[in-house]
A and B are shown apart, each in its own frame.
Chain A
Amino acid sequence: DAKTTQPPSMDCAEGRAANLPCNHSTISGNEYVYWYRQIHSQGPQYIIHGLKNNETNEMASLIITEDRKSSTLILPHATLRDTAVYYCIVRVAVLYSGGGADGLTFGKGTHLIIQP
Chain B
Amino acid sequence: EVQLLESGGGLVQPGGSLRLSCAASGFMFSSYAMSWVRQAPGKGLEWVSVITGNGGSTYYEDSVKGRFTISRDNSKNTLYLQMNSLRAEDTAVYHCAKALYCSITSCPRAFDYWGQGTLVTVSS
Is chain B found bound to chain A in the same assembly?
no
A binding-site residues for B, Cβ under 8 Å? none
